[in-house]
Chains A and B, each alone.
Chain A
Amino acid sequence: MICITSVMQQDAIIELLENDHSTNIQFKLKEKKGPKLFFDILEGDKQEAADLAKKLIKAAPWGSILYFQSIAV
């Protein structure tokens, strides 16, 4: 599982990660708890998934100015 902490663009983050098929890592939202979004990793390593999520968010048009955290849990 990975945890993305962001108070902004939560819906956009969920849509971005769940619809990403660029690698074999697949994200599925498990729980939304305040600023924290927990994603199950259906396939692949969770640390790699956390890094990929960070990369995908930063590459989004709004990602460069978002203050967020992506960690494996």
Chain B
Amino acid sequence: MDKLTAWMEKHILPIAAKIGGQKHLVALRDAFIGTMPATMAGSVAVMINAIIRDLPPQFWPDYDASTIPIISQIIEVNGFVWNGTLAIAGLIFAFSWGYNLAKAYKVDELAGGIVGVATLVQGIAFSYSTNIKGAIPKELVESINQGTADTGWSATSHGITAGGWGWLNLNHLNGNAYFTVMILGAISVIIFSKLMLADFTIKMPDSVPPAVSKAFSAILPATISLYVIAIINFIVSKVSNGQLLIDLIQKYIAEPFLGLSQGFGALVIIQLAIQVFWFFGIHGMNVLAPVLEGIWGQAQLVNIDVFQKGYNGKTGTAAVLDAVKDGKAYLWVRGSFDAYTMFGGSGGTIVLILAILIFSKRADYLAVAKLSVGPGLFNINEPVMFGLPIVLNPIMFIPFILAPIVTTAIGYFATVLGLVAPVSQQVTWVVPPMLLSFLATGADWRAPIVTLVCMVVAFLIWAPFVLSANKMEEVD
């Protein structure tokens, strides 16, 4: 084991450290984390709606929250919170990404955030247009056309057209915008930062106050970087017959990429990588955060958005399931890992603690297990990871790697087969197991049962190794 550790330290750690310390990836990770005040607030609003609007009809089909005083008002209030958070999660992320990227380059962070926002917004739809075909009476046509300037409606004898300018498309500002923000935001903010570092700025006399001087120094770099993005948007629009770059990125990059993340093989690879990193004393979540948050985190935001906003005239889980069929929502998202594999912490260690308390004859194991129960209930497993230890403990390697992969399979196939709703809420990882999956699935009562099955199976995987450890004491 010492040789293996030395090998890991020599060959793997530097790579992990490079990934973990790479300034763009660190900025990306921090950009995702930076949006949390908004995304969590929005998630709380959606979750409350899930409990008071979507849960009761599972048991009382006649339940209609919109007709119940106070409940209907709470739902409306939650709608406001959602409007300012998850409905514009992409816009918030655009600022966070620009801010953190500028910070990584050690230039004006605020200006970087503003460049990030301007980059996204310049390329989104500012107008809408839709029409209904059918015979329209002449008097009605005249009446509609008289008010066109105010209403945006126009009519002919063959149909009505509704259109307007100045209506920003929320589908371009929510979680769907993440890939566009990551790509175009990186281009614009890196150009901005490089120009700032090259001192390609407007110089102000010393007598000018620092705040004014700072704002002025960012003008040229910001202008140039935003023009570069504008030219890209213009060219793409011309060569694609008026399509927006954000729609093309969504269709040809984001959706296929997120689609790939839904294969079981991808889940096994990422789960395996996380566990191996943890086992060898490397912070798996930190190293892989850009991947986890960039792919499955974005998929989760899409699910939350669909849950609240609705799809095909449905709301809640029914909307998410319909959207999944059309590739507009996802079965496995960031929170699915927490719900079905990380009960007690990475490796599903709460069941290991239970196995030790039942089967172990080792005083050291029992002492660590008793100390680890409390934190374990909240998915904190440092005491047991370092106390037993699990880290670099050859006997714990197999169950630590195997249990999460098997429970991933259980959670994944239960979701794919429709035995449980997909995760559609953002729940902080310290919420106790089973309650976490219940809340994360929009209050699906079947989710805690699936988690319980995962825990029982994980227990059966861990138990033989706890019994083996009993014999090791005699050897020691």
Interface residues of A (CB under 8 A from B): 5-9, 35, 61-62, 64-69
Contacts and interface: CB of A to CB of B under 8 A. Distances in A.
B391 A35 contact: yes
B5 interface: yes
B450 to A, nearest CB: 28
B8 interface: yes
Contact of B287 (A6, A7, A65): A65
A7 B281 contact: yes
A45 to B, nearest CB: 22
Contact of B19 (A65, A66, A67, A68): A65
A65 B286 CA distance: 6
A6 B284 CA distance: 14
Interface stretch (B9-17, B207-215, B238-246): B9-17
B17 A35 contact: no
Contacts of B391: 5, 7, 35, 67
A19 to B, nearest CB: 20
Contacts of A6: 281
B17 A68 contact: no
A62 B21 contact: yes
A67 B282 contact: yes
Most-contacted residue by chain B among A8, A62, A66 (CB, 10 A): A8
Q: Which 9 A-B pairs give the minimum distances between C-beta atoms?
A: A65-B20, A7-B281, A62-B17, A5-B386, A8-B281, A67-B283, A64-B20, A7-B392, A69-B386
B310 interface: no
A9 to B, nearest CB: 7
B282 A66 contact: yes
B7 to A, nearest CB: 12
Interface in B1-47: 5, 8-9, 13, 16-17, 19-21, 26
A34 to B, nearest CB: 8
Given A35-B386, A65-B287, A9 B13 contact: yes
A64 B391 CA distance: 18
A27 to B, nearest CB: 19
Contacts of A61: 17, 21
B13 A62 contact: yes
Given A62-B20, A67-B283, 4 more contacts: A7-B5, A64-B26, A65-B16, A65-B20
A9 B286 CA distance: 17
B390 to A, nearest CB: 11
11 contacts: A5-B389, A5-B391, A7-B281, A8-B281, A35-B281, A62-B20, A62-B21, A64-B21, A67-B284, A68-B281, A69-B382
Contacts of A7: 5, 280-281, 391-392
Interface of B: 5, 8-9, 13, 16-17, 19-21, 26, 277-278, 280-284, 286-287, 382, 385-386, 389, 391-392
Nearest to B17: A62
A72 to B, nearest CB: 15
A67 B392 CA distance: 12
Contact of B389 (A8, A35, A66): A35
A8 B282 contact: yes
Contacts of B20: 62, 64-65
A29 to B, nearest CB: 18
A36 to B, nearest CB: 8
Residue among A61, A65, A66 with most chain B CB within 10 A: A65
A5 B9 CA distance: 15
A67 B21 contact: no
Contacts of B26: 64
Contacts of B16: 65
Nearest to B5: A7
B382 A66 contact: no
A6 B281 CA distance: 7
Contact of A67 (B5, B8, B278): B278
A69 B283 CA distance: 11
B401 to A, nearest CB: 15
Contacts of A8: 5, 8-9, 13, 280-282
Contacts of A67: 277-278, 281-284, 385, 391
Contacts of B392: 7, 35
A64 B281 contact: no
A71 to B, nearest CB: 9
A69 B392 CA distance: 14
A5 B390 CA distance: 12
A29 B248 CA distance: 58
B266 to A, nearest CB: 22
A5 B385 CA distance: 10
Contacts of B382: 69
Nearest to A36: B386
Contact of B17 (A5, A65, A69): A65
Contacts of A68: 281
